[in-house]
Amino acid sequence: MSEFRPSSKVVDLSTAAAPLLGAAKYKAVIIAWLKSTSKKLTIFFMNPDTWKRPKVWIIGLIFLRLAYVFMNEYGLNPFKKSLVGDHVFLTGAGGGIGRLMALRFGKLGCKLSLSDIDEPAINQTKDYLLERGVPAENICCFGADMSSVESIKEGGRIAREAFGDVTILVNNAGIVSGKQTLQLTESMINRTFAVNTISHIHTIKEFLPGMKSQKRGHIVTIASVSGLAGLPGITDYCGSKFGAVAIDECVRTELKKTGDWAYIKTTCICPYFISTGMFEGVGNIFPLYMLSPDEVADRILSGVRQEENFIVIPWRGNMVFLANLFPAVIKDRISNFMGADAVMDTFQGKGDTRMPGLDLSE
Ligand SMILES: NC(=O)c1ccc[n+]([C@@H]2O[C@H](COP(=O)([O-])OP(=O)(O)OC[C@H]3O[C@@H](n4cnc5c(N)ncnc54)[C@H](O)[C@@H]3O)[C@@H](O)[C@H]2O)c1
């Protein structure tokens, strides 16, 4: 077969790169390499025979997907949505990543309805935001207990009275008991599921109608890597987070079915351990490390603005899906080898205050 020669001019990467290289020591070598590579690439891509090979399409699609993942991961997606004027209802905003997300939403020009069961803490969040330049007229803070439907409804009423319909719901409030299955009390189990899972359905029911009538909305679920893989010593929490992931998926598919997906998006966030104190003392699962609350808050905000559906933080946490391809007997050995079986042995969490609303002091 004779060599293909493109009729139009060969794209020359070296022309664009030359000014960037300045006085680089190997400038001539780099320019020569770029020239020959440009020629080879142009010939390759402009040859009609190239596009008749399925392998090229498969590799091309994989490359595009990886480029998309990379752009999203580093917040480089050029199609980020503006959140100016959005009304955010954020639960568990009294500390941890809730407070940091509130600051980021506030800085982007959102109106903030912030709630927490801990009223002094939510008032501290207000001061924290004011000190950092979020306008007072954009902040509404109040106490609300996510384990109570009445409290959720009352929170909805306060938020609507302050800023009208909610357009971004962030289900962030969460608790962990840190007990082995046989040590769990009925009230621990019920409260964990009420706050981490059941409240999500009630808040969605509270705010989705407003999002539909506004034709604008975003539902953000703060789940966990514990919602993707079970660990010993964390049964109630894992179960509740698996539930949260499932709720997100059901609502997303429902929105698609009803056609509301065109303007109401969902984002499910599954972070590994974060140094907020909630999982104080836990071990590590190789190759993951304790995340900083700021990096998690940044990633959540970029995920919302890039309208991503599902985010594992850090990205390599997606390895849990790979592990699920193995039979349980092999999967369990791999995860134990990585340290997963001992991770909760050293758990301290927030001590007796780790489940607000429950007295754990006896
Ligand atoms: N910290 C981690 O390692 C980690 C890892 C993955 C996912 N998460 C999830 O991230 C979210 C935020 O966690 P965090 O690390 O910022 O912890 P945090 O303890 O600092 O924040 C949780 C907030 O929820 C509030 N809260 C507790 N019970 C409540 C209730 N009944 N009603 C309303 N508010 C209530 C608390 O007062 C607290 O302010 C949680 O959903 C948690 O499960 C945390």
Q: Whose CA is nearest to atom 18 of ligand 1?
A: 96
- Bigger pLDDT: 118 vs 31: 118
CA distance 241 to 253: 19
> What value does the mean pLDDT take over residues 221-243?
96
**∠ Cα 300 305 308 (to 5°):** 70
pLDDT at 196 over 90: yes
Mean pLDDT of 244-262: 98
Ranges in the chain annotated CATH 3.40.50.720: 87-353
Distance CA 109, CA 313 (A): 25
- Whether the CB of 172 sits within 6 Å of ligand 1: yes
Q: Which of 245, 243, 160 is nearest to 207 (CA)?
A: 160
Active site residues: 237
Which CATH architecture does the domain made up of 87-353 adopt? 3-Layer(aba) Sandwich (3.40)
Pair 156, 206: CB distance under 8 Å:
yes
Q: Is residue 117 in contact with ligand 1, taking CB distance under 6 Å?
A: yes
- Which backbone phi and psi does 37 adopt, to 5 degrees? -65, -40
Both tokens assigned to 360: 């754990």
- Predicted confidence at residue 266, as pLDDT, reads 98
* pLDDT tier at 3, thresholds 50, 70, 90: low
Of 40-44, 83-87, 232-236, 303-307, the poorest mean pLDDT is in 40-44
Strand, coil or helix: what is 55?
helix
User: Under a CB-based contact definition with an 8 Å cutoff, are residues 147 and 195 in contact?
Assistant: yes
Ligand 1 pocket test: pick from 191, 278, 282 the residue with the most ligand atoms within 8 Å of its Cβ: 278
Residue 1: pLDDT over 60: no
In order, the DSSP letters of 245-270 are: HHHHHHHHHHHHHHTGGGTEEEEEEE
Q: pLDDT value at position 207?
A: 98
Q: Using an 8 Å Cβ cutoff, are 315 and 295 in contact?
A: no
pLDDT, tens digit, 9 for 90 and up, residues 55-71: 999 999 999 989 988 88
pLDDT for the residue numbered 6: 67
Summarised one tens digit per residue, pLDDT across range 137-162 is 999 999 999 999 999 999 999 999 99
Q: Report the distance separating Cα 240 and Cα 244, nearest Å.
A: 6
pLDDT of residue 8: 63
Q: 3-state DSSP call for residue 88?
A: strand
Q: In the predicted model, is pLDDT for residue 362 greater than 70?
A: no
Residue 254: per-residue pLDDT: 98
DSSP sequence for 89-105: EESSTTSHHHHHHHHHH
The pLDDT confidence band at residue 104, using thresholds 50, 70 and 90, is very high
Structure tokens at 280: 């104080």
Nearest residue by C-alpha to atom 19 in ligand 1 = 278
Section 336-346 average pLDDT: 93
- The one-letter code for the residue type at 254 is E
> What SS3 class is residue 344?
coil
Interior angle at CA 307, CA 114 and CA 160, nearest 5: 30
Whether 262 has a pLDDT exceeding 60, the answer reads yes
Q: Output the six-digit token pair for 158.
A: 């306060």
Question: 233's torsion region: left (phi>0), alpha (psi -120 to 50) or beta?
Answer: left
Q: What is the mean pLDDT of the chain?
A: 93
Atom of ligand 1 nearest to the CA of 279: 3
Give 7's pLDDT tier (boundaries 50, 70, 90): low
Report the pLDDT averaged over residues 17-31.
Answer: 79
